[in-house]
């Protein structure tokens, strides 16, 4: 199997602050990876670095969505392929949508349950709808690898499964940060688990149980969720 990205004992982070130390990790072609770990552990940093390494091969769906609220759903999704058209064509498209792009985006929206919303400004959408617009924009990019950061956080479990299936149908390779441990085992064939700035889990999904995944979360062991006395 071909390896797309490889980290060999690297430190990831920002200018002065190391988020993940001594990371050794490989992303194989055709691997569907669930990225787990408590909030703030460095999932976004890892994904951003993967995006940087993969360049044009990665479709990108960030945690904060990065949508432009005043623009319509159509234009937000169109932005996924903004670099494929000339500046002039993009300008004209703002005034009068391109027929071909409109058709493609309409079909995409129908699959994602966004039919009839193409002309609506994103600012008027609900949280779940915005999430799906962000996913649609990433799907519209038509790249080899899908990178998603907490894609299905604000979506109900049934829809979350459907969306993951859709994404994986189009992308043989994907890395998606999640909080739902069950989905990690049912919809992915590999799990990366981060805790305390370290990769502590790097295993095929079929070898893991929910209890294994619980070890990633510091509060999961105790039934008492109150903070311990200092």
Stretch that binds another protein, among 21-29, 90-98, 100-108, 168-176 (CB under 8 A): 90-98
> Least Å distance between CB 75 and another protein?
7
Write each residue from 173 to 212 as x if it is in contact with another protein (CB under 8 A), else as -, in one continuous string: ----------------------------------------
- The kind and range of the H/E element at 9 are strand 3-13
Dist CA 103 CA 109 (whole Å): 10
In sign, the C-alpha dihedral spanning 117, 96, 141, 70 is: negative
Q: Write the CB contacts of 98 (distance below 8 Å, at least 6 apart in sequence).
A: 78, 89, 92
> Which of 3, 11, 53, 68 is in the footprint of another protein by CB under 8 A?
68
Between 61 and 155, name the residue whose CB sits nearer to another protein.
61
Cα-Cα end-to-end distance for the chain: 50
Between 87 and 230, name the residue whose CB sits nearer to another protein.
87
Alpha helices in 35-156 (DSSP H): 43-54, 73-78, 87-95, 99-111, 127-140
Using rule CB under 8 A, residue 95 touches another protein: no
Using rule CB under 8 A, residue 5 touches another protein: no
Using rule CB under 8 A, residue 83 touches another protein: yes
Using rule CB under 8 A, residue 46 touches another protein: no
Stretch that binds another protein, among 19-27, 82-90, 198-206, 211-219 (CB under 8 A): 82-90
Using rule CB under 8 A, residue 56 touches another protein: yes
**b/e burial code for range 172-205 (CB count within 10 A of at least 16 → b):** ebbbbbbebbebbbebbebbbbbbebebebeeeb
Tokens representing residue 198 in the block: 């370290």
Using rule CB under 8 A, residue 71 touches another protein: yes
């Amino acid at each position: 199997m071909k390896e797309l990205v490889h980290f060999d004992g690297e430190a990831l982070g920002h200018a002065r602050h190391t988020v993940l130390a001594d990371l050794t990790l490989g992303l194989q072609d055709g691997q569907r990876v669930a990225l787990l770990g408590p909030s703030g552990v460095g999932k976004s940093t890892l994904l951003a670095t993967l995006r940087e390494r993969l360049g044009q091969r990665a479709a990108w769906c960030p945690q904060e969505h990065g949508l432009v609220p005043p623009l319509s759903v159509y234009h937000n999704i169109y932005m996924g392929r903004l670099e494929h058209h000339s500046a002039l064509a993009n300008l004209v498209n703002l005034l009068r949508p391109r027929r071909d792009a409109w058709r493609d985006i309409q079909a995409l929206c129908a699959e994602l349950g966004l039919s009839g919303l193409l002309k609506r400004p994103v600012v008027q959408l609900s949280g779940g709808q915005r999430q799906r617009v962000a996913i649609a924009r990433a799907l519209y990019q038509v790249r080899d690898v899908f990178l998603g950061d907490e894609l299905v956080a604000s979506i109900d479990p049934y829809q979350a499964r459907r969306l993951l299936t859709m994404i994986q149908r189009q992308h043989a390779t994907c890395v998606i940060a999640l909080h739902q441990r069950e989905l990690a085992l049912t919809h992915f064939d590999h799990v990366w688990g981060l805790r305390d700035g370290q990769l502590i889990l790097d295993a095929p999904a079929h070898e893991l149980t929910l209890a294994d995944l619980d070890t990633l979360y510091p509060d999961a062991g105790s039934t008492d969720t109150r903070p311990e006395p200092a």
